Amino acid sequence: MADKRNRSVDPATLAMIDVATARNMTTPWDRLESQQPQCGFGTMGICCRNCFMGPCRIDPFGEGAQEGICGADADTIVARNLLRHICTGTSAHSDHSRDVVHALALAAEGKSEAYRVRGARKLSKLAEEYGIATDGRSVNEVAKEVAQFLLKEFGKQEGVLANVGRAPEQQRKNWAAAGAVPRGIDREVVTGLHMTHVGADNDAEHVIMGSVRAALADGWGGSMIATDVSDVLFGEPHPLRSRVNLGVIKEDEVNIIVHGHEPTLSDVVVAATRDPQLLALAKEKGAKGINLAGICCTANEILMRHGIPIAGNFLQQELAVMTGAVDVMLVDIQCVFPALVQMQKCFHTKVVSTSAKAKFPGSTYVEFHEEKAMETAKQIVRLAIENYPNRDPDLINIPKQQEPLVAGFTTEVVSEILGGRYRPSYRPLNDGIQTGRLRGVAGVVGCNNPKFPHDESHLAMVKELIRNDVLVVQTGCSAIACGKGGLLAPEAAERFAGKGLQEICRAVGIPPVLHTGSCVDNSRILTACAEMVREGGIGDSFDKLPVAGAAPEWMSEKAIAIGMYFVASGIFVVIGQSLPVQGSRRVVDLLTKDFEKHFGATWAFEPDAIKAAHLMIDRIDRKRADLGLPTPMYQVPYKPKTADSAPKAHAGAKREPVAVAAGSCPGPATAGIEDT
């Protein structure tokens, strides 16, 4: 990547990359270059490090070793590796979730002054769903029982996860047939890891179904619980205006950037920055105020609920420090670069790590405990204020870019916006789809990845979708990218959306792209789809809905878990770079073809964002045709393909014969692969 102009499409990011070059500091893009070439065995998923007779590798050229020392072939190794990735992704979301539920329990028991139930309506809804009595009981009594009920979901030993009941019947049938109904959140991770141990599961398809089960334990378990309980504890989000990009950092105020994922600390920091004593201290140190901004999903959490501005997404974390005006970068868990700590050598910024699950040598460690949340938050804000006078004015370099945006859309809010507060309903959305004013709905989510020009794929894909009358819902770093690109502002409809989508946006007053929160909030997309099914008229199961999903710049194991739970829930998902499965034709075919039979949806891999958007629209059009819905009401730039040119639904899904290496014994082991 010789030309640094190709590293991002965000002018603020490019400006800060120049600063990095001038100061001789490395960025993720430089480090990507120094990692070239990246290991092909890892890329293709055919390196097995699960036992120490190995490590073993399959020769991708088909001539050297085709099996590991234990006899595991490429299919087994690829499937096991994928299962391990998904177990990690599920663990990350679910362990975050557990902490939020724990905080609810503390709030209910009055053991933490920082937390109280702010979403009583959602609490009652959950209590009703889980069969917990609410009549004549205090909010805290109900909250305590809901928290206890949900904590048990993590370690559940019998039955299935309660939220499985939220899925349409067809999805539940599909999961049961595949042996993939999630029984407990922690359990599916433990069982999944067990399956990958040496000498355990080596039926590639069965291993993949184990990964589906672990992913469903995330989507319908850990992530969904995190979203629900965060709404109960910190309040249900409502649409609000804010701003995004590095320009939100203020030269004359104390700047605190929260980066990471859990709302348990960041939400309390919001309150701490408004503390009169701390504000007075900030003034005393010469600052005009205390400015809080965020990066990654913890930013999305406090944006959704408090309108706190966003400084940037994943690939901008070091760039924020390079503005020279960040007094504290507060980090917790997930997606935080160890490289951040190195920035302290050049800039006055204090990196403050807080989680007992993620220590960063060289950072200032202030361990966070929910019981003393406010005390910790104030301590960290004070650290920032005291660090303000240490800024070097010569190093201050804040790009001016910032875009206005609207965020705060949830499953419940969308219903209220569409149907009105007194009769909330998804009817207008379903009507819009049925008449063809809206072609369908797409979820575009996920990370940044320096292998792709920063933000470029998110923006190109989302623009292509909305100009073709597809409403887009977003989470995570993808939402931040589109916010910076001006797509989350209501005015975006007039500039970028097709005529049908424009009409909907104008009628109900929404942007064409809806920010629905953090990466655990992808579960909101699942519950919104459940509402669309319940409302009726556009399919009685997820796989019949004219919807699709994408993660064009994904990089994390969490993204794999998310993609898998969407696909297994019947929603077609296209991702930018391939999953690390290309070393096994059988696993590739299973994920990209045969999954249609099992779950009514498949994965697709397509690095070109426009082509990927067209794959999504093709899927949406096919679903519209299956439902007998009309073609789009207005002229659309990307025309629907004629019915007969559309690929037929898994026409006997061809499976290629399994190659038997020359000279090897075609014994029962290989013969058994081609099961009938």
Binding site for another protein (CB under 8 A): 37, 39-41, 43-44, 57, 60-61, 63, 578, 582, 585
Find the shortest distance in angstroms from Cβ 617 to another protein.
25
In terms of CB distance, is 57 or 458 closer to another protein? 57
Find the shortest distance in angstroms from Cβ 58 to another protein.
11
What is the C-alpha separation between 65 and 58, in angstroms, rounded?
A: 5
In terms of CB distance, is 331 or 581 closer to another protein? 581
Find the shortest distance in angstroms from Cβ 41 to another protein.
7
Find the shortest distance in angstroms from Cβ 601 to another protein.
23
In terms of CB distance, is 57 or 624 closer to another protein? 57
Full 3-state SS string of 90-134: HHHHHHHHHHHHHHHHHHHCCCCCCCCCCCHHHHHHHHHHCCCCC
Q: Are 634 and 499 in contact, with CB atoms under 8 Å apart?
A: yes
CA nearest neighbour of 81 among 223, 199, 187, 207? 207
In terms of CB distance, is 41 or 426 closer to another protein? 41
What is the C-alpha separation between 596 and 572, in angstroms, rounded?
A: 9
Find the shortest distance in angstroms from Cβ 661 to another protein.
14
In terms of CB distance, is 59 or 375 closer to another protein? 59
Find the shortest distance in angstroms from Cβ 25 to another protein.
23
What is the C-alpha separation between 454 and 38, in angstroms, rounded?
A: 19
Q: Are 471 and 514 in contact, with CB atoms under 8 Å apart?
A: yes
In terms of CB distance, is 175 or 605 closer to another protein? 605
In terms of CB distance, is 41 or 565 closer to another protein? 41
Strand-pair partners of 312: 295
In terms of CB distance, is 63 or 135 closer to another protein? 63
Helix axes 169-178, 204-216, angle to 10 degrees: 140
Find the shortest distance in angstroms from Cβ 582 to another protein.
4
State the pairing for strand pair 328-331/470-474.
Answer: unpaired
Q: Which amino acid is at 578?
A: S
State the pairing for strand pair 240-244/403-407.
Answer: antiparallel
Those residues whose C-beta lies under 8 Å from the C-beta of residue 23, and which sit 6 or more positions away, are 322, 346
Find the shortest distance in angstroms from Cβ 44 to another protein.
6
In terms of CB distance, is 397 or 577 closer to another protein? 577
SS3 641: coil
Alpha helices in 436-498 (DSSP H): 456-467, 476-484, 492-496
Those residues whose C-beta lies under 8 Å from the C-beta of residue 39, and which sit 6 or more positions away, are 47
Find the shortest distance in angstroms from Cβ 38 to another protein.
9
Full 3-state SS string of 124-160: HHHHHHCCCCCCCCCHHHHHHHHHHHHHHHHCCCCCC
Find the shortest distance in angstroms from Cβ 40 to another protein.
4
Find the shortest distance in angstroms from Cβ 669 to another protein.
24
Q: Residue 70 has what DSSP assignment?
A: T
Find the shortest distance in angstroms from Cβ 585 to another protein.
8
In terms of CB distance, is 40 or 389 closer to another protein? 40
In terms of CB distance, is 59 or 113 closer to another protein? 59
Residue 476 CA neighbour count, 13 Å, CB half? 32
Find the shortest distance in angstroms from Cβ 437 to another protein.
40
Find the shortest distance in angstroms from Cβ 605 to another protein.
10
CA separation, residue 299 to residues 246, 312, 394, 456 (Å): 13, 9, 28, 21
Owner of token pair 């909250």: 143
User: What is the chain's length?
Assistant: 676
665: left (phi over 0), alpha (psi -120 to 50) or beta: beta
Those residues whose C-beta lies under 8 Å from the C-beta of residue 544, and which sit 6 or more positions away, are 538, 570, 600, 623, 626, 627
Those residues whose C-beta lies under 8 Å from the C-beta of residue 373, and which sit 6 or more positions away, are 103, 112, 114, 115, 264, 265, 268
In terms of CB distance, is 36 or 676 closer to another protein? 36
Full 3-state SS string of 326-341: CCEEEECCCCCCCHHH
Q: Cβ-count burial of 376 within 10 angstroms (0-12 exposed, 13-18 middle, 19+ buried)?
A: buried
In terms of CB distance, is 146 or 590 closer to another protein? 590
In terms of CB distance, is 44 or 180 closer to another protein? 44
Strand-pair partners of 242: 405
Strand order across the beta sheet in which 364-365 lies: 364-365, 350-353, 328-331, 254-259, 290-295, 310-312, 240-244, 403-407
In terms of CB distance, is 43 or 124 closer to another protein? 43
Find the shortest distance in angstroms from Cβ 657 to another protein.
15
In terms of CB distance, is 61 or 422 closer to another protein? 61
Find the shortest distance in angstroms from Cβ 37 to another protein.
5
Terminal CA-to-CA distance of the chain, rounded, Å? 48
